[in-house]
Amino acid sequence: MFYLKLIIRNAFRHKLRALLTIIGVAVAILAFGLLRTLVGLWYLGVETSSATRLVTRSSISLVFSLPISYRERIRHVPGVTEVSTMNWFGGVYISEKNFFPNFAVEPETFLKIYPEFVLDPAQKKAFLADRQGAVAGRKLAAKYGWKVGDRITLKGTIFPGQWEFVLRGIYSGAQKSTDETQFFFHWNYLNEVMRKTIPRRADQVGLFTLAVARPDLAAEVSQAVDALFKNSLAETRTETEKAFQLSFVAMTEAIMVAIQIVSYVVIVIIMVVAANTMAMTARERLGEYATMKSLGFRGYHIAGTVFGESLFIALLGGIVGVMGTFPAAHIIETELSQFFPVFAISTSTIMLQLASAVAVGIAAGAFPTWRGATIRIAEGLRRIG
């Protein structure tokens, strides 16, 4: 108890210095936690992918569409239990700054394949019955103040025009990691308008989503589907949902690696700053350490005091940083929901933050601890006065 009191009193002997050091550690730990979370969220779609879902797209590029006639042929492939269609619509609400993911889908089969989108039965029934019906995620609806029954107009970018929808449902996620910022509407509605306005773009699908009976059938079904359309005018590439998500992640992998490096550089910088602070503190107290030794304190007593002070300041800053991570994550999730629909701090990130704080304390206190423990009495006393 005596040593704990001594550590705390020493830590706050220079209040301004201690406060600035704690704030510096807290900011570094906060930044580290947010950057680590950002990297984790970039791979969230990969980690949450279903092992029983496949994606069939053009073998050339996602830019190229596939004929809707492929759907029934895919449905009859052994192992396939359901097939749905999906088109990236790319519409904006009111102005370009109001961007969110919006897709034209085949509603009934889509909701079967993606059970993580939970919709009230009455709302689901209304959505399926209304050709102009649409559903939006809970967070998206809250952001724009939408209610069931509202009329929503999207300005088409890929598909020109003003598109009118009636909000028939607001879905919630089955898991916390489910994206609740998306917007879905009937593919048939999109196709009917294309037939009237741009016939050459009608009866085309961006991609097909498939459900298979068992995960071990994924490779076999993928090969069978692609074999159906080999040497055709629109060859396909079928892959697991995880592989499909990874193809997007791979495009920005260099950026993610850079962010990971930056997160560790932040910790190294604060280690250097904290080490300099502790070294300065130890240098000022060498006379005190010599006096303590002359009174009978051993080297390990002094080492424990100095090292404990370093750990105490670093951990205090780490705890403040961890506490600040949650409101910061909430602000990011609220204000930047179109980019980060889910920004949840994981337990592993918190543990890494605390471990980093401990590492800062150890690194910062190592040299001052050795210096204080090994100072000779005569050398230390010469510094007094």
C-alpha span between 378 and 292 (Å, rounded): 12
What is the reported pTM?
0.71
Lowest mean pLDDT among 5-9, 22-26, 145-149: 5-9
Domain final residue, candidates 234, 267, 294: 234
User: Using alpha carbons only, what angle is made at residue 373 by residues 367 and 378, rounded to the nearest 5 degrees?
Assistant: 115
Assess whether 94 and 212 both reside in one domain: yes
Residue 176 vs residue 53, higher pLDDT: 53
* pLDDT tens digits for range 72-122: 999 999 999 999 999 999 899 988 788 889 999 999 999 999 999 999 999
Return the sign of the alpha-carbon dihedral for residues 155, 160, 164, 170: negative
Amino acid at 380: G
pLDDT of the residue at 145: 93
pLDDT of the residue at 130: 94
Pull the structure tokens for residue 200: 């050459």
Assess whether 175 and 213 both reside in one domain: yes
pLDDT of the residue at 129: 94
pLDDT of the residue at 62: 83
* pLDDT tens digits for range 137-165: 998 998 899 999 999 999 988 998 899 99
Count CB neighbours of 341 within 10 A: 22
Residue 309 belongs to a domain: yes
DSSP string spanning 149-174? T-EEEEEETTTTEEEEEEEEEEEEES
User: In 43-179, which residue ranges form alpha helices assigned H by DSSP?
Assistant: 44-47, 70-75, 107-113, 121-129, 138-144
Task: Indicate whether 13 pLDDT > 80.
Answer: no
C-alpha span between 106 and 98 (Å, rounded): 25
Residue 302 belongs to a domain: yes
pLDDT of the residue at 204: 94
Domain final residue, candidates 186, 206, 234: 234
Count CB neighbours of 24 within 10 A: 19
Assess whether 116 and 203 both reside in one domain: yes
Report the domain count for the chain: 2
DSSP string spanning 249-289? HHHTHHHHHHHHHHHHHHHHHHHHHHHHHHHHHHHHTHHHH
Assess whether 212 and 76 both reside in one domain: yes
Residue 276 belongs to a domain: yes
Residue 239 belongs to a domain: no
Residue 325 belongs to a domain: yes
* pLDDT tens digits for range 31-50: 888 888 877 776 665 566 77
User: Domain range spanning residue 275?
Assistant: 2-44+253-381
pLDDT of the residue at 61: 85
Pull the structure tokens for residue 356: 């980093």
* pLDDT tens digits for range 239-292: 988 888 777 666 666 777 777 788 788 878 877 777 777 766 666 666 666 666
C-alpha span between 198 and 204 (Å, rounded): 12
Assess whether 159 and 267 both reside in one domain: no
C-alpha span between 73 and 210 (Å, rounded): 12
Q: Give 361: exposed, middle or buried? Use CB within 10 Å, 0-12, 13-18, 19+.
A: buried
C-alpha span between 49 and 38 (Å, rounded): 18
Phi, psi of 296, deg, nearest 5: 110, -5
C-alpha span between 225 and 75 (Å, rounded): 9
Domain final residue, candidates 201, 234, 267: 234
> How would you classify residue 79: left for phi > 0, otherwise alpha for psi between -120 and 50, otherwise beta?
left
How does residue 338 score in pLDDT terms, banded at 50, 70 and 90? low
Task: Indicate whether 134 pLDDT > 60.
Answer: yes
CA-CA-CA-CA dihedral for 33, 36, 42, 48, to nearest 10: -80
Residue 75, CA atoms < 13 Å, CB-side half-sphere:
10
Average pLDDT on 214-232 reads: 92
CB 134 within 8 A of CB 154: no
Average pLDDT on 202-206 reads: 92
> How would you classify residue 90: left for phi > 0, otherwise alpha for psi between -120 and 50, otherwise beta?
left
* pLDDT tens digits for range 278-332: 766 666 666 666 666 666 667 666 667 777 777 888 888 888 988 988 888 878 7
CA distances from 61 to 10, 58, 170 (A): 64, 6, 32
pLDDT of the residue at 243: 81
Residue reference for tokens 């889908």: 105
Q: What DSSP designation does 199 have?
A: G
Residue 312 belongs to a domain: yes
